[in-house]
């Protein structure tokens, strides 16, 4: 017998999200906010990834508008959630949940209902909710209100009184309900289709609903600012594994060769000797990326014995590794580089090099650093015989 069925509410027009994005001069490519990307994956997929870690969940039913079923099915398959059932939602959130509820297994004692637009849900909080619901008709995940709450007089903006916040909580999802009780509530509660959450229905039907608190941050993505905050939270390392790799390359300088560093041609009378175009900086970045992803080194991917890489564009080689890392679940989030070269001075070229590397890694320019150093006349670099480059690349789990 299934212990818990999960319903994911993926409806909503996303009007506030679109409005906020438009105000910033952006355009929404995805149909609604749950398909907008958060750290390389759609918000909906982030929500499902978290829920998949809860072993008590035996099945998942997703409710989305009818015109979004096709894209939902495509994304679910792409991201390894092919077993999720999909149903067409109704005109309201409550009706969408009802359609999904009817598709859940009759053997399930309980159902969880979660907003697809809450991608930062902590799996442990879900487990705590399931445990905390025992002996009740339902339970909600909630956070205590921390601000001072005022009640105003009807028809005015005058304060009537300050409310005791000790007994006030902000309801979140997931919310858990006894499956049979919730179905009965839909049949007996007046205006059930207008309920804004499941606990409201349970309460109206005379059910006993518990509040389960948690310490995590579980925001609902409502407008574009919410998505930006969630992205910052995730990137900070709270939601994703990160790895850092180091790369170094050195090339002899020779007359008759173009000097190319970071995909940028540098005016000089000497260039790098190499099987490819000799771009020591991009080779260092490529090796750093490979190291962070645990994918070996550049020689294993692009052998200098292979004629097809003769005079190859190192920008294309790096792009190939970026794609391979993505297939393994990694994306770049930062790159720090150092070029050791006695001459020429690289100050006039650093901005172009930085922009080029950022473009190749799919990063904003601010996430890439390019520094240039001389060797004060010491060693082969200081004697003008070679160029040496170092790179650190940080990857984040997609």
Q: Distance between CA atoms of 376 and 341, rounded to whole angstroms?
A: 10
Q: Distance between CA atoms of 361 and 162, rounded to whole angstroms?
A: 52
Q: Distance between CA atoms of 295 and 151, rounded to whole angstroms?
A: 59
Residues 6+ apart with CB under 8 A from 215: none
Calculate the dihedral angle through the C-alpha atoms of 210, 216, 221, 227, rounding to the nearest 10 degrees. 180
Residues 6+ apart with CB under 8 A from 213: 141, 142, 143, 144, 169
Q: Distance between CA atoms of 45 and 79, rounded to whole angstroms?
A: 7
Token pair of 383 as six digits: 């004697």
* Domains in the chain, CATH or no CATH each: 4-238 (3.90.550.10), 242-397 (3.30.1330.50)
**pLDDT given at position 223:** 85
List strand residue ranges (DSSP E) for the chain, in order: 4-9, 37-38, 41-42, 57-64, 85-88, 110-115, 138-144, 149-152, 159-163, 169-178, 209-213, 242-255, 259-261, 264-266, 270-272, 330-340, 368-373, 386-397
Dihedral of alpha carbons 340, 346, 350, 356, sign: negative
Consecutive sets of 10 residues in the chain, 398 residues long: mean pLDDT of each? 86 58 50 84 95 95 95 94 94 96 94 97 95 96 92 93 93 97 97 95 97 92 89 72 93 89 90 86 96 93 87 92 91 96 92 95 93 92 92 91
Q: Distance between CA atoms of 337 and 353, rounded to whole angstroms?
A: 10
Q: Distance between CA atoms of 193 and 186, rounded to whole angstroms?
A: 8
**pLDDT given at position 1:** 42
Residues 6+ apart with CB under 8 A from 256: 271
How far is CA 171 from its chain centroid?
A: 24
**pLDDT given at position 239:** 57
- Interior angle at CA 286, CA 285 and CA 289, nearest 5: 85
The residue to which tokens 């919410």 are assigned = 226
Looking at the whole model, is its pTM more than 0.75?
no
State the greatest distance between any 2 C-alpha atoms of the chain, in Å, as a whole number. Answer: 87
């Amino acid at each position: 017998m299934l212990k818990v069925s999960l319903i994911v509410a993926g409806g909503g027009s996303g009007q506030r999200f679109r409005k906020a994005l438009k105000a910033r001069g952006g355009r929404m490519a995805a149909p609604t906010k749950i398909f907008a990307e958060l750290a390389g994956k759609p918000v909906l997929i982030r929500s499902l990834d978290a829920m998949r870690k809860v072993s008590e969940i035996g099945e998942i039913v997703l409710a989305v508008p009818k015109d979004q079923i096709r894209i939902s099915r495509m994304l679910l398959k792409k991201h390894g959630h092919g077993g999720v059932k999909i149903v067409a939602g109704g005109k309201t959130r409550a009706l969408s949940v009802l359609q999904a509820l009817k598709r859940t297994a009759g053997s399930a004692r309980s159902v969880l209902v979660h907003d697809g637009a809450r991608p930062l849900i902590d799996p442990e909080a879900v487990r705590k909710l399931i445990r905390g619901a025992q002996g009740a008709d339902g339970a909600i995940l909630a956070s205590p209100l921390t601000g001072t709450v005022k009640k105003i007089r009807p028809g005015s903006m005058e304060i009537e009184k300050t409310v005791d916040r000790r007994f006030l909580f902000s309801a979140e999802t997931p919310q858990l309900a006894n499956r049979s009780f919730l179905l009965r509530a839909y049949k007996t509660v007046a205006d059930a289709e207008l309920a804004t959450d499941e606990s409201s229905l349970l309460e109206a039907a005379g059910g006993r609903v518990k509040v389960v608190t948690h310490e995590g941050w579980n925001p609902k993505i409502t407008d574009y600012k919410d998505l930006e905050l969630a992205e910052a939270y995730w990137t900070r390392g709270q939601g994703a594994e990160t790895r850092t790799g180091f790369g170094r390359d050195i090339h002899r300088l020779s007359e008759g060769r173009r000097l190319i560093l970071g995909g940028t041609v540098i005016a000089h009378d000497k260039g790098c000797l190499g099987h490819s175009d000799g771009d020591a900086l991009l080779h260092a970045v490529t090796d750093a990326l490979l190291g962070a992803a645990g994918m070996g080194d550049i020689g294993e991917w692009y052998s200098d014995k292979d004629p097809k890489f003769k005079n190859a564009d190192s920008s294309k080689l790096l792009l190939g590794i970026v794609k391979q890392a993505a297939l393994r679940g990694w994306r770049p989030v930062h790159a720090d580089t150092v070029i050791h070269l006695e001459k020429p001075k690289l100050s006039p070229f650093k901005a172009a090099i930085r922009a080029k590397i950022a473009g190749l890694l799919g990063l904003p320019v601010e996430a890439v650093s390019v520094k240039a150093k001389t060797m004060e006349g010491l060693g082969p670099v200081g004697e003008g015989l070679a160029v040496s480059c170092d790179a650190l690349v940080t990857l984040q789990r997609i």
